[in-house]
A and B are shown apart, each in its own frame.
Chain A
Amino acid sequence: MIEAKGLTKRYGDILAVDDVSFSVEKGEVVGFLGPNGAGKTTMMRILTGFLAPTDGTALIAGHDIFEESLEARRAIGYLPETLPLYPEMSVDSYLLYVATIKDVPRAKRREAVAHAAERCGLADVRSRVIGTLSKGYRQRVGIAQAIVHDPPVLILDEPTVGLDPLQIVEIRQLIAGLAAPARGEAQHTVILSTHILAEVEAICQRVILINEGRKAVDAPLSELTRDGRSLEALFARETARDLGVAGSPAE
């Protein structure tokens, strides 16, 4: 569903993403893990077509992000790190606008908006102005705009950041539900980034650990946590070398 081939991104002299390749199968939930500044957001921005890679390319649902950029973007639902909301709009008119620019056919737009609002628990606040909503509700609106056109691929950049513990659980359930949907729903392939390890353990099937722009680990979660090993230890081992954290294994 997603295939990244040798993605590289330079900002001037800084190498933000360094020759990263991976592929994600349909229905998988993959966690992008890594310390702050590891290049997770840059990777996601490249996959969604917001940034052009310096080198390499990617296929989204079979469409090259350069050659068939519009088709690739149509196949993606994206929740950026900064919620892309217009504070002056109502939830309904905002979602309707997003459905329109994401090419949902006119006849199906109202239904798509109602459905996305329903799935994200927004049914009660649809006529509210976004600027007056609480952080948790705004986050849901952000997720609703990502799924409103029912895209095969979802890319979520830190979907639970800034939420309270209860909201975090709800959002995680929502994401898990998107990848393993109830009958009649389309199945989504999900990439989400986080630096909360518990989040990965709760919803992801696979982990791609990124450190200093390079792919350090790419393995199923079950393999990484086999025999009681913890993700914390892995995370520390893979990233500590460069951070110089006390207690890192001596080389």
Chain B
Amino acid sequence: MRHVVTVAGRDLRSMFLSPVAYGVLSLFSVLAGVFFVLNVAWFGSLVSRFQQFQAFDQLQQLNLNDHLIGEFYGSMSVVLLFLIPGITMGLYAAEKTNGTQELLLTSPLTVWDIVLGKFLAGAGFVALLVVVVGLFPALLFVYGDPELGRSASGLLGLMLVGWVYVVIGTFASSVTRSQVIAFLFSFVMLLCLLLLPAISDLGVAGGSGLGEGLRYLSTGDHFDRLVKGVVDTADLAYFAVMIGTFLVLTKAAVESVRWR
């Protein structure tokens, strides 16, 4: 495990030596700006509408955290779903086409060095994206008074959701040589993950334990609670289990090369 950081450092540097990281970073920043402006405008329209109809009760309940920052985080979590596969698709697939997979697997590295290193590289990049997201609510602290704790726990939620997307993306990359297939595979898996609660709500699962199970598997509920400011160890455990499971699957996929 000594070389986790070495592997992560190389992958992060390579992302910034190619246009991918800059492309994703700038696209993401633009989208964050657009969504923030939209959310602010929407919040403004809510305020003016409630004032117009003199709905003071509702006006009382409006707050920056629930009706602006939370919505904004939610939008950005969906944006992450589209962009993260672009970051993770090359992590393993490019090593295979470069031939560097052979270098990694014949070096005195353990498979965990490689798997954790690559996850760390992706996770580090997501942390950077989350910092970009965090800049926008920070503006609100200048002009209003959102709750710091809830703004921060929502950001934590966004980062954890991003990490789950990264770990699924690295798994997709580890099972194929083609970056295109890695992108599509992770994208489909992430969309399924996003749609699980909708499937559960349809009642197809029969409202039984299965429906509950589907909801639990999705990041949605866990993320929502963190955005609401509820930091529950059960939700943190969910993220840990998801990340751990896919890391183990990725390790198996990387190792399987030896046993072909």
Residues of A that sit less than 8 Å from B by CB: 11, 45, 48-52, 70-71, 73-74, 76, 78, 80, 82-89, 93, 97-98, 100-103, 145
- A51-B257, A102-B107 known; 4 new pairs, CB 8 Å cut-off, are A50-B258, A51-B258, A70-B110, A101-B109
A97 to B108: give the CA distance in the assembly, Å: 13
Q: In whole Å, how far is B212's beta carbon from the nearest beta carbon of chain A?
A: 42
CB under 8 Å from chain A, chain B span 219-242:
none
Query: CB < 8 Å: which of B7, B17, B257, B259 contacts A101?
Result: B7
CB under 8 Å from chain A, chain B span 30-71:
none
- B259 touching A80, Cβ below 8 Å: no
A76 to B104: give the CA distance in the assembly, Å: 13
Proximity bits, B99-131, A CB within 8 Å = 1, else 0: 111111111111000000000000000000000
Give 12 pairs: A residue, B residue, CB < 8 Å, sorted on A.
A49-B106, A73-B108, A78-B102, A84-B101, A84-B102, A88-B17, A97-B6, A97-B10, A101-B7, A101-B104, A102-B108, A145-B103
- B99 touching A85, Cβ below 8 Å: yes
A232 to B13: give the CA distance in the assembly, Å: 49
- For B6, the chain A residues whose CB sits under 8 A away are 97, 100-101
| Total cross-chain contacts (CB, 8 A) | 72
With most chain B CB atoms within 10 A of its CB, the pick from A11, A50, A78 is A50
Interface size on B, residues (CB 8 A): 25
Contact A87 B260, CB 8 Å, known A48-B106, A49-B105, A73-B106: no
- For B101, the chain A residues whose CB sits under 8 A away are 84
Q: In whole Å, how far is B107's beta carbon from the nearest beta carbon of chain A?
A: 5
- A98 touching B106, Cβ below 8 Å: no
The answer to whether B14 has its CB under 8 Å from any CB of chain A is yes
Q: Which 8 A-B pairs have the closest CB atoms?
A: A82-B99, A84-B103, A88-B17, A48-B106, A80-B102, A74-B108, A84-B100, A70-B108
- For A83, the chain B residues whose CB sits under 8 A away are 99
A74 to B98: give the CA distance in the assembly, Å: 22
- A101 touching B98, Cβ below 8 Å: no
Q: In whole Å, how far is A102's beta carbon from the nearest beta carbon of chain B?
A: 6
- B17 touching A89, Cβ below 8 Å: yes
The answer to whether B177 has its CB under 8 Å from any CB of chain A is no
The answer to whether B3 has its CB under 8 Å from any CB of chain A is yes
With most chain A CB atoms within 10 A of its CB, the pick from B108, B109, B258 is B108
- For B98, the chain A residues whose CB sits under 8 A away are 84-87
- For B258, the chain A residues whose CB sits under 8 A away are 49-52
The answer to whether B208 has its CB under 8 Å from any CB of chain A is no
Closest to B100 in A: A84
Closest to A12 in B: B260
Closest to A51 in B: B258
Q: In whole Å, how far is A91's beta carbon from the nearest beta carbon of chain B?
A: 14
A7 to B101: give the CA distance in the assembly, Å: 23
A89 to B103: give the CA distance in the assembly, Å: 15
- For A51, the chain B residues whose CB sits under 8 A away are 257-258, 260
A82 to B107: give the CA distance in the assembly, Å: 16
A237 to B235: give the CA distance in the assembly, Å: 70
Closest to A155 in B: B106
With most chain B CB atoms within 10 A of its CB, the pick from A51, A76, A85 is A51
Closest to A73 in B: B108
A144 to B30: give the CA distance in the assembly, Å: 43
A28 to B106: give the CA distance in the assembly, Å: 22
- For B14, the chain A residues whose CB sits under 8 A away are 86, 88-89
A5 to B207: give the CA distance in the assembly, Å: 60
A235 to B258: give the CA distance in the assembly, Å: 31
A11 to B260: give the CA distance in the assembly, Å: 7
Query: CB < 8 Å: which of B7, B100, B106, B109 contacts A85?
Result: B100
Contact A100 B108, CB 8 Å, known A50-B258, A51-B260, A89-B14: no
A76 to B110: give the CA distance in the assembly, Å: 16
A50 to B27: give the CA distance in the assembly, Å: 39
Contact A82 B18, CB 8 Å, known A50-B258, A101-B7, A103-B108: no
- For B99, the chain A residues whose CB sits under 8 A away are 80, 82-85
CB under 8 Å from chain A, chain B span 240-260:
257-260
Closest to B11 in A: A86
A58 to B3: give the CA distance in the assembly, Å: 26
A168 to B46: give the CA distance in the assembly, Å: 75
A28 to B100: give the CA distance in the assembly, Å: 28
